[in-house]
C-alpha cells in the first residue's frame, strides 16, 4: 500500500486491516510514522500497532 492510498483511507480502517491480517508493509510503517496532527485516539491506534510490531505479533511484508 502506498502513502497516497493510506491518506485516502480512514486511519481506523488501515489499523483494522493491519491487525486482521497481522501484516504491515514498510510503506504502511513509513506512512504511519509521517502522519501529523493526530488526535489522542489516532495516536493510541498507531501506538498499538507499533507495540505489536515490537512484540513480534505483526509480520513486516513488502
Summarize pLDDT for 14-55 with one digit per residue, the tens. 899 999 999 999 999 988 988 889 999 999 999 999 999 999
> Has residue 8 got a pLDDT over 90?
no
Would you state the pLDDT for residue 2? 46
CA separation (Å) from 4 to 24, 46, 51?
Answer: 16, 18, 24
Our measurement of the distance from residue 39's CA atom to the centroid of its chain's CA atoms, rounded to an integer in Å, reads 15
| Nearest C-alpha neighbor of 19 from the set 59, 33, 9 | 59
Query: How much is the pLDDT for 62?
Result: 86
Residue recorded with cell 506512512: 31
Give the model's confidence band at 3: pLDDT under 50 very low, under 70 low, under 90 confident, else very high.
very low
Residues 6+ apart with CB under 8 A from 53: 24, 29, 60
Amino acid at each position: 500500500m502506498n502513502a497516497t492510498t493510506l491518506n485516502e483511507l480512514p486511519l481506523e480502517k488501515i489499523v483494522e486491516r493491519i491487525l486482521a491480517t497481522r501484516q504491515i508493509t514498510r510503506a504502511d510503517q513509513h506512512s504511519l510514522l509521517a502522519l501529523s496532527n493526530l488526535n489522542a485516539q489516532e495516536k493510541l491506534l498507531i501506538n498499538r500497532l507499533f507495540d505489536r510490531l515490537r512484540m513480534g505479533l505483526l509480520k513486516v511484508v513488502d
